[in-house]
Amino acid sequence: MANEMMNKALEGLDQAVAAVKAAAETAPDAVAQAAHGVSGGAIDPFVFRFAIFVLSIFVGYYVVWSVTPALHTPLMAVTNAISSVIVVGALLAVGVAASGFATGFGFIALVLVSVNIFGGFLVTSRMLAMYKKKDR
């Protein structure tokens, strides 16, 4: 009885994973194609994606530099958590990739994110050490 329920749960999980993969593969192209269609073909999908990239640079710059020092340590912890998700994606790119190009970029991403996580933990521990009471 428990094995049947476990098998049904695993089948449902496999179906959910397949649905998420399908949505993740088609969503960016669908948005770019929608912008291309709405503009009457005047906007190339690459230009649309590049504009989003440039806007995200500006938003990221202003968000990062407007953070108060008291919030730095909690935000570093969140950044490390996000980087750990990127590690999963990089591992998938390295292991499942169909081309050497994706494998190479996945490996580079894996190395850079690993350095980012390690450095983030060093900075976070150093910041937390600043708040500890010193023994006299």
Q: Give tens-digit pLDDT for 26-44.
A: 766 777 777 777 777 777 7
Residues 43 and 98 sit within 8 Å (Cβ to Cβ): no
- CB distance 83 to 120 below 8 Å: yes
Residues 58 and 118 in one domain: no
Same domain (yes/no): 53, 86: no
pLDDT surpasses 80 at 111: yes
Last residue of a domain, one of 66, 90, 114: 66
Q: Are residues 44 and 75 both part of a single domain?
A: no
- Structure confidence by residue, pLDDT tens digits, 52-79: 889 989 998 888 788 777 777 677 777 7
Same domain? For 24 and 76 the reply is no
Provide the residue range defining the domain that includes 5. 1-66
Do 72 and 62 fall within a single domain?
no
Distance (Å, whole) CA 105 – CA 90:
8
* Torsion 19-24-26-31 (CA) sign: positive
Indicate yes or no: pTM above 0.75: no
Domain total in the chain = 2
Cβ–Cβ contacts within 10 Å for residue 132, how many?
A: 7
Share of the chain above pLDDT 70, in %: 88
Tokens for 27? 């969503």
Residue with tokens 């695993």, as numbered in its chain: 10
**Phi, psi for residue 127 in degrees, rounded to 5:** -65, -40
Rounded alpha-carbon distances, angstroms, from residue 117 to 31, 71, 82, 83, 114: 32, 18, 9, 6, 5
Which strand (E) or helix (H) includes residue 71?
Answer: none
**90 and 59 in one domain?**
no
The confidence score (pLDDT) of residue 62 equals 85
Whether 62 and 79 share a structural domain:
no
Same domain, 61 and 14: yes
Q: Identify whether the C-beta of residue 41 lies closer than 8 Å to the C-beta of residue 88.
A: no
Q: pLDDT at residue 9 above 80?
A: no
Is 73 found in the same domain as 135? yes
